[in-house]
């Protein structure tokens, strides 16, 4: 059964209130009954005391006197109280008329103390107090009866009120509960209405924050913070898509323009060859860009698979150094390496690690003018393998330093010098480093050069860290 919170709260109010009112009235009823009984007992006890005193006072003048006094007393009592007194021989000295017609004979009073019982005399209910008294050495039995009707009437009146008011009270209180829960839940409805209006088009909108410092305020603030995160993610994706399309358009239009120009009129073989080489260069650039985009897109959705396994870093460093040396030679840059000949075992993805080293070395060569220097150093430091790539290139200004890891970011110096690149290399580098639980940092001075420093966990610690966070898998999915 589907019930709204408001309906459920009201139902709960109803049940709790009905139970509470029932308990309350039952306690009142119980207390009232007991207090009535005590009052009636007191009344019959005091009447019994009066009768006993009359008997005691008139006894010295003989039984007829007692009889006379008791008769006078019974006439005096107009409140319906009646009594009977039996003498030592068991014969009744005095009996009020109603006692002559008992529905059932009364038992004898106890040897000591006063006994109380409720019985019907002539169809009317009485509370009877019975006592055996010894006066001047003679035993008398006294029964005094007080009608309970006035008291029963009071109790009945109370019960009538109970029966009429109990349901009314419960219904009224439940209606109040319904109204109160409606008021309490009104901010929730406002939140729902506002949330329904928020979509991708207006992600900058936020839910109205209630004034009261309560759970709803915390909920709204949490949802608003979540909207903020979603908004920046969507913006990032939108920027990424726009930048990617823009960067893809450049080499593609280069390919098209070259092909169109070549086809305008017949060319020599050398001209065709030159055009085709340009087209090949542009399509290689496109392929590289698409590959980088694919890596990052897969990393974003957690689908990029890294094949972790035990590898040795030193041979990878030598391999990367060889390629970098060739690039440096082509550009007239002095390349030197200082790879400490010691094993650097790692638990890592060999392909991704090589790509990481090459990206940093490629940048160092790319952003260092001819006759500059690039140096590659590596050594072990505690539980880490440290790789340093230093160049005497154009450097990065302080403001740009935190942004070089952003996708598609390229510093103005890089753009002005028309150094080829997409601005994705360092984003991928950082993702690879983080997936390996390592760290990458940079220090640079504009116009003087840069130093990129990698810290990658060695086998024992790397194993432990990757196992810790990703279980015993041999491959993992990681996002930068």
CB atoms near residue 394 (< 10 Å): 23
Closest CA to 394 of 422, 364, 430: 364
Closest distance between ligand ADP and the C-beta of residue 452, in Å?
A: 7
Residue 252 beta carbon to ligand ADP: minimum distance, rounded to whole angstroms: 18
**Least Å from the CB of residue 292 to ligand ADP:** 9
Q: How far apart are CA 461 and CA 82, in angstroms?
A: 104
Residue 56 or 373 with smaller CB distance to ligand ADP: 373
User: What token pair was written down for 172?
Assistant: 């009224």
Shortest Cβ 377–ligand ADP spacing (Å):
15
Q: Is the CB of 85 or the CB of 352 nearer to ligand ADP?
A: 352
Residue with tokens 């959705």: 301
CA 371 to chain centre: 62
CA angle 288, 290, 295 (to 5 degrees): 95
Q: Report how far residue 469's alpha carbon sits from residue 335's, in angstroms, rounded to the nearest whole number.
A: 38
Whose Cβ is closer to ligand ADP: residue 135's or residue 446's?
446
Query: Minimum distance from CB of 442 to ligand ADP (Å)?
Result: 8
Using the minimum distance from each CB to ligand ADP, give the nearer residue, 267 or 410: 410
d(Cα 141, Cα 111) in Å, to the nearest integer? 10
Query: Which of 187, 393 has the CB closer to ligand ADP?
Result: 393
Give the pair of three-digit tokens for residue 52: 């006993």
> Are the C-beta atoms of residues 259 and 275 closer than 8 Å to each other?
yes
Least Å distance, CB 187 to ligand ADP, is 47
Residue 94 in contact with residue 67, Cβ under 8 Å?
A: yes
Least Å distance, CB 418 to ligand ADP, is 11
Of the pair 46, 241, the CB lying nearest ligand ADP is at 241
Q: Which is nearer to ligand ADP, 130 or 422 (CB)?
A: 422
Closest contact distance (angstroms) between CB of 413 and ligand ADP is 6
Q: Which is nearer to ligand ADP, 308 or 452 (CB)?
A: 452
State the Cα–Cα distance between residues 208 and 96, nearest whole angstrom. Answer: 84
* DSSP for 405-452, written as a single string: TSTT---HHHHHTT----S-HHHHHHHHHHHTT-EEEEEEETTTEEEE
Residues 313 and 344: beta-carbon distance below 8 Å: yes
The residue sitting closest to ligand ADP, measured at its beta carbon, is 421
Cα(47)–Cα(183) distance, integer angstroms: 61
**Closest to 111 measured CA to CA, from 131, 93, 127:** 131
Closest contact distance (angstroms) between CB of 272 and ligand ADP is 30
Given the complex with ligand ADP, which of 144 and 396 has the nearer CB atom? 396
Instruction: Report d(CA 257, CA 207) in Å as an integer.
Output: 51
Q: Which residues bind ligand ADP (CB under 6 A)?
A: 363-364, 367, 391, 393-396, 404, 409-411, 414, 421-427, 450
**Shortest gap between Cβ of 363 and ligand ADP (angstroms)?**
4
Distance in Å, CB of 432 to ligand ADP, minimum? 12
Give the nearer residue to ligand ADP in terms of CB position, either 258 or 363: 363
SS3 76: helix
How far apart are the C-alpha atoms of 221 and 227, rounded to whole Å? Answer: 10
Q: Is 220 left (phi over 0), alpha (psi -120 to 50) or beta?
A: alpha
Nearer to ligand ADP, 414 or 435 (CB): 414
Residue 213 φ/ψ, nearest 5 degrees? -80, 75
- Rounded to a whole number of angstroms, the minimum distance from the CB of residue 405 to ligand ADP is 8
Which lies closer to ligand ADP via its Cβ, residue 304 or residue 396?
396
How far from the centroid of its chain's Cα atoms is residue 358's Cα? 47
Beta bridge partners of 85: 94, 142
Q: Which among 149, 145, 169 is positioned nearest to 157, based on CA atoms?
A: 149
């Amino acid at each position: 059964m589907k019930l709204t919170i408001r309906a459920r709260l009201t139902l709960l109010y109803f049940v709790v209130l009905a139970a509470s009112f029932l308990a309350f009235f039952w306690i009142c009823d119980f207390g009232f009954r007991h207090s009535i009984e005590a009052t009636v007992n007191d009344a019959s006890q005091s009447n019994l005391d009066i009768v006993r005193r009359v008997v005691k006072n008139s006894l010295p003048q003989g039984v007829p006197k007692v009889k006379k006094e008791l008769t006078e007393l019974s006439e005096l009592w107009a409140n319906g109280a009646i009594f009977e007194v039996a003498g030592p021989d068991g014969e009744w000295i005095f009996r009020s008329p109603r006692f002559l017609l008992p529905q059932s004979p009364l038992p004898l009073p106890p040897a000591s103390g006063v006994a109380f019982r409720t019985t019907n005399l002539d169809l009317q209910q009485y509370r009877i107090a019975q006592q055996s008294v010894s006066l001047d050495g003679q035993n008398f039995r006294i029964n005094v009866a007080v009608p309970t009707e006035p008291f029963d009437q009071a109790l009945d009146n109370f019960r009538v009120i109970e029966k009429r008011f109990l349901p009314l009270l419960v219904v009224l209180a439940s209606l109040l509960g319904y109204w109160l829960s409606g008021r309490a839940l009104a901010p929730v409805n406002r939140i729902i209405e506002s949330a329904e209006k928020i979509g991708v088009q207006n992600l900058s909108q936020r839910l109205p924050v209630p004034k009261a410092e309560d759970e709803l305020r915390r909920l709204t603030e949490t949802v608003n913070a979540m909207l903020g995160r979603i908004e920046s993610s969507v913006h990032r994706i939108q920027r990424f898509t726009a930048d990617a399309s823009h960067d893809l358009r450049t080499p593609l239009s280069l390919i098209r323009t070259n092909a169109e120009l070549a086809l305008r009129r017949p060319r020599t073989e050398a001209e065709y060859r030159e055009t085709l080489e340009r087209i090949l260069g542009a399509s290689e650039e496109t392929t590289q860009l698409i590959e980088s985009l694919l890596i990052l897109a897969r990393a974003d959705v957690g689908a990029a698979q890294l094949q972790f396994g035990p590898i040795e870093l030193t041979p990878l460093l030598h391999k990367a150094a060889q390629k970098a040396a060739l690039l440096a030679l082509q550009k007239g840059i002095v390349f030197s390496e200082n790879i400490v000949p010691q094993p650097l075992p790692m638990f890592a993805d060999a392909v991704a690690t090589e790509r990481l080293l090459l990206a940093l070395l490629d940048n160092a060569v790319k952003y260092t003018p001819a006759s500059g220097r690039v140096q590659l150093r590596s050594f072990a430091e505690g539980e880490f393998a440290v790789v340093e790539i230093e160049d005497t290139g154009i450097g990065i200004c302080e403001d740009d330093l935190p942004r070089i890891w952003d996708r598609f970011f390229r510093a103005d110096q890089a753009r002005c010098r028309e150094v080829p690149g997409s601005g994705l290399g360092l984003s991928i580098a950082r993702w690879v480093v983080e997936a390996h639980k390592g760290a990458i940092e940079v220090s640079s001075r504009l116009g003087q050069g840069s130093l990129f420093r990698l810290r990658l966990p060695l086998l024992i610690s790397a194993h432990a860290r990757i196992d810790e966070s990703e279980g015993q898998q041999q491959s993992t999915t990681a996002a930068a």
